[in-house]
A and B are shown apart, each in its own frame.
Chain A
Amino acid sequence: QPALTQSASVSGSPGQSITISCTGTSSDIGGYNYVSWFQQHPGKAPKLMIYDVYERPSGVSDRFSGSKSGITASLTISGLQAEDEADYYCCSYAGSSTLVFGGGTRLTVL
């Protein structure tokens, strides 16, 4: 299962908004509304930020939002803060109890 496609890096200044895209196929993102986004700081385990395309777990800031159109899912972070600097991974259900991760996007807060 090839990885979902994410841009390698994105950057923004504090207070700005950024969007990270994640492109798959009709067999994963396009076929199911089960897309999650994870934040990973260096040397740490990933943290669930968005699930079921746009749902936020308890405790996750409402500055984080998710959406999907066709075979592309997106994560938007508004009001960028220094602590948002991290790697972000999308992940989609791919049928038959399998899943696939994206290649990861490094967010730099300038």
Chain B
Amino acid sequence: QVQLVQSGAEVKNPGASVKVSCEASGYTFTNYAMHWVRQAPGQRLEWMGLINTGNGRTKYSQRFQGRVSITRDTSASTGYMELSSLGSEDTAVYYCAREFRVIPNFDYWGQGTLVTVSS
């Protein structure tokens, strides 16, 4: 069965970077794009960007452009999201999601990774 398993919770200092992983199983990794979505406490879902897992091309939300980097390791069927220059407003649960056929059909989601930014 399809699964997306994310790395564990992180606590970071302001100004640091965080890298979250998302390991896929149960399907051909390179056949489906992977997206990253975050949700601050009590707030709405917010799209961060995507990676075409086949050719590695990325697209980022303007809101995070220059601060986010989405990559993948096809040999490990794993996607990564790195966010730099963290501030308290980046405290959130970060999700990876598989795109089914077209945007925004996200049929499978990771369990979420809580990133806490605090000094």
Contacts and interface: CB of A to CB of B under 8 A. Distances in A.
Interface residues of B, number: 23
Interface stretch (B8-16, B41-49, B80-88): B41-49
A104 B59 contact: no
Chain A at the B interface: SS class: strand
Interface string A12-34: 00000000000000000000001
Nearest to A4: B44
Interface residues of A, number: 27
Given A34-B104, A97-B50, A45 B112 contact: yes
A45 B110 contact: yes
A57 B107 contact: yes
Nearest to A45: B109
A100 B63 CA distance: 12
A45 B111 contact: yes
Most buried by B among A3, A40, A51, A93: A51
Interface of B: 37, 44-47, 50, 59, 61-63, 95, 97, 100, 102-107, 109-112
Given A36-B106, A46-B109, A89-B44, 13 more contacts: A1-B63, A3-B44, A34-B102, A34-B105, A38-B106, A45-B112, A46-B106, A47-B109, A48-B100, A51-B107, A93-B102, A96-B59, A98-B61
Interface of A: 1, 3, 34-36, 38, 40, 45-48, 51-52, 57, 89, 91-93, 96-104
